[in-house]
Amino acid sequence: MEMFLSQKCKKFKRVCETGRIFKQRKVYMDVSKTAKKIKEMEIRGAGDIARATAKALKHTAEKSNATSVDEFKEEINKSKKILLNSRPTAVSLPNSIRLVTKNLDRYSDIEGARSNIIKRADKFILRSKKSIKNLGEIGSNRIKDGDTVLTHCNSDAALSVIKEAYKTKKINVIATESRPRLQGKITARELAEHGVPVTLIVDSAVRSFMKNVDIVVVGADAIGVNGAVANKIGTSQIALAANEARVTFMVAAETYKFSPKTVIGEPIKIEERSEDEVWKDCPGGICIKNPAFDFTPPEYIDLISTEIGLISPHMSYAILKEEFDWSIEELKNS
């Protein structure tokens, strides 16, 4: 009889364990879906990537069936890893994780840890949206009535500056196509729907048009401690053409686009995407390179419009110090 009971007990335990693993897998399934969407660019643009990341961590916390705080922390850490592997250049992704999971180690009970993640994720998403609005208002003051603005790719931050300027000034926008994924078409459509006069040009036409441009406004995926800006491939060529024509070059970026790890010498990684994006049925014997981003050196950047004001790229260290309260030791170990 005793043996029979212990066998039943073991079976019951196995069923419970399988159920727990299944529920755990379900938690990761949601995070994996978000990571896949980011990788395949269904979710794209550094700000959207950051907000989707915060939302995915919030869902992990909400859905967790962990039975101990250590198990909960393990689930969050695993979710972090899945998300981190999705796209390498947008520093907004690790920054969003850093801000949402901050202080997690301090919690010794599941409910405390859970509500900390949920609150922080909501706060980050709200703050991110407010930042875009604020930097738009600030940056728009640099656009004058009658200006022609050139923008590249599709950036919510850059569009916020442009749309804010359009509220009170007559402006024209030139949007570049942004090969190979053609995000410039999203920008052109969005501006046209907003009523802003917009002209779409191919990327190679930038220098020809630069003589008609008053100000360039682009977004950022990451900004290094030296003030260099990583943004959609082609941005640095536009900066070069703007510099030659003495046209103001402004970057619109929330402060969570600054990269803390560059302070300790970690380089910003430029994502290399599939060659299929450039030429799907490419014949043999041809090598295709498809870097998604490039670096614009600080010398070519006049201003960065952030939610806490207009800054010179040379102020990057100060922004990093103010935004993220880290020590060098912490950065080395994170």
Q: With contacts defined by CB under 6 A, how many residues of the chain interact with ligand RUB?
A: 15
Q: Does 44 bind ligand RUB (CB under 6 A)?
A: yes
* List 75, 164, 203, 221, residue binding ligand RUB (CB under 6 A): 221
Are the beta carbons of 82 and 28 closer than 8 angstroms?
A: yes
Contacts of 258 (CB under 8 A, 6+ apart): 91, 95, 222, 223, 225, 316, 319, 320, 323
Q: Does 131 bind ligand RUB (CB under 6 A)?
A: no
Q: Does 45 bind ligand RUB (CB under 6 A)?
A: yes
Sign of the Cα torsion 102, 105, 107, 110 reads positive
Q: Does 150 bind ligand RUB (CB under 6 A)?
A: no
Tell me which H or E stretch contains 242.
helix 235-244
174 forms bridges with which residues in the sheet? 150, 199
Q: Does 157 bind ligand RUB (CB under 6 A)?
A: yes
Nearer to ligand RUB, 76 or 162 (CB): 162
* End-to-end Cα separation, the chain, in angstroms: 54
303 forms bridges with which residues in the sheet? 250
Are the beta carbons of 47 and 92 closer than 8 angstroms?
A: yes
Which residue type occupies 127? R
Nearer to ligand RUB, 180 or 260 (CB): 180
Active site annotation includes 221: yes
Strands 198-201 and 229-232: unpaired
Q: What is the DSSP letter of 276?
A: G
Alpha-carbon torsion angle 97, 98, 99, 104, nearest 10: 100
Q: Could you give the string, one character per residue 239-278, with x where binding to ligand RUB holds by CB under 6 A and - elsewhere? A: ----------------------------------------
Nearer to ligand RUB, 27 or 52 (CB): 52
Q: Does 155 bind ligand RUB (CB under 6 A)?
A: yes
Q: Does 219 bind ligand RUB (CB under 6 A)?
A: yes
Return the closest-CA partner of residue 117 out of 66, 65, 56: 56
Active site annotation includes 302: no
CB of 235 to ligand RUB, least distance (A): 8
CB of 227 to ligand RUB, least distance (A): 17
Nearer to ligand RUB, 20 or 179 (CB): 179
Nearer to ligand RUB, 231 or 262 (CB): 231
Task: Name the segment binding ligand RUB (CB under 6 A); options: 11-19, 109-117, 214-222, 324-332.
Answer: 214-222
Residue of 153, 156, 203, 302 with catalytic role: 153
Residue found under tokens 């850059």: 158
CB of 189 to ligand RUB, least distance (A): 15
Distance CA 47, CA 256 (A): 9
H-helix segments, 64-200? 69-84, 92-100, 110-140, 156-168, 183-193
Three-state secondary structure call for residue 201: strand
Nearer to ligand RUB, 171 or 220 (CB): 220
Q: Does 307 bind ligand RUB (CB under 6 A)?
A: no
Q: Does 156 bind ligand RUB (CB under 6 A)?
A: yes
Strands 172-176 and 198-201: parallel
Task: Name the segment binding ligand RUB (CB under 6 A); options: 2-10, 148-156, 192-200, 239-247.
Answer: 148-156
Return the closest-CA partner of residue 288 out of 302, 278, 301: 278
Distance CA 249, CA 209 (A): 15
Residue of 203, 221, 276, 287 with catalytic role: 221
Q: Could you give the string, one character per residue 176-195, with x where binding to ligand RUB holds by CB under 6 A and - elsewhere? A: -------x------------
Task: Name the segment binding ligand RUB (CB under 6 A); options: 12-20, 40-48, 139-147, 283-291.
Answer: 40-48
Are the beta carbons of 184 and 178 closer than 8 angstroms?
A: yes
**Binding site residues, ligand RUB, CB under 6 A:** 44-47, 153, 155-157, 183, 219-221, 231-232, 292
The catalytic residues are 153, 221
